[in-house]
Amino acid sequence: MICLLALVWIISCTTDVTGSANTKYLQGEIGGNVTFNCFAGEKANATFFYFQINETFINGYYEDKDLLKYKKRWNNTKLDGNTVHMYKLKVSDSGLYQCIMLFKNEGVRKEYYQLSVTAKYSQPTVIKSCEEGFSCFVTCASHGGYPGTEMTVNVPVPKNTSGQMWKVVNISQMSNPITMEYNSTTTVVFNCSKGQLTHISCSVGEVTSPMFSVCEHRPEPDPSDHTVVIIAICAVAVFIVSVGLLLYCRCKKRQQHRQIRNDQQMETLRGGEAEEGTC
Ligand X SMILES: *[C@@H]1O[C@H](CO)[C@@H](O)[C@H](O)[C@H]1NC(C)=O
Q: Is 176 in the site for ligand X (CB under 6 A)?
A: yes
Residue of 92, 172, 196, 213 that binds ligand X (CB under 6 A): 172
Q: Is 209 in the site for ligand X (CB under 6 A)?
A: no
Q: Is 148 in the site for ligand X (CB under 6 A)?
A: no
Q: Is 259 in the site for ligand X (CB under 6 A)?
A: no
Select the span of 46-54, 66-74, 164-172, 205-213 touching ligand X (CB under 6 A). 164-172
User: Shortest approach of ligand X to residue 69 CB, angstroms?
Assistant: 25
| CB-nearer residue toward ligand X: 87 or 103 | 87
Residue of 23, 37, 118, 191 that binds ligand X (CB under 6 A): 191
User: Shortest approach of ligand X to residue 70 CB, angstroms?
Assistant: 19
Q: Single out the residue of 100, 194, 185 nearest to residue 142, CA to CA.
A: 185
| CB-nearer residue toward ligand X: 87 or 112 | 87
Q: Is 185 in the site for ligand X (CB under 6 A)?
A: yes
Q: Is 164 in the site for ligand X (CB under 6 A)?
A: yes
Q: Are 113 and 99 in contact (CB under 8 A)?
A: yes
Give residue 66's Cα distance to chain centre. Answer: 57
Q: Is 170 in the site for ligand X (CB under 6 A)?
A: yes
Q: Is 142 in the site for ligand X (CB under 6 A)?
A: no
Name the residue type at position 29: E
Q: Are 115 and 97 in contact (CB under 8 A)?
A: yes
| CB-nearer residue toward ligand X: 179 or 208 | 179
Select the span of 7-15, 44-52, 63-71, 187-195 touching ligand X (CB under 6 A). 187-195
Residue 141's DSSP bridge partners are 125, 185
User: Shortest approach of ligand X to residue 25 CB, angstroms?
Assistant: 19
User: Shortest approach of ligand X to residue 191 CB, angstroms?
Assistant: 4
Where on the chain is the footprint of ligand X (CB under 6 A)? 32-33, 87, 143, 164, 170, 172, 174, 176, 183, 185, 191, 193-194
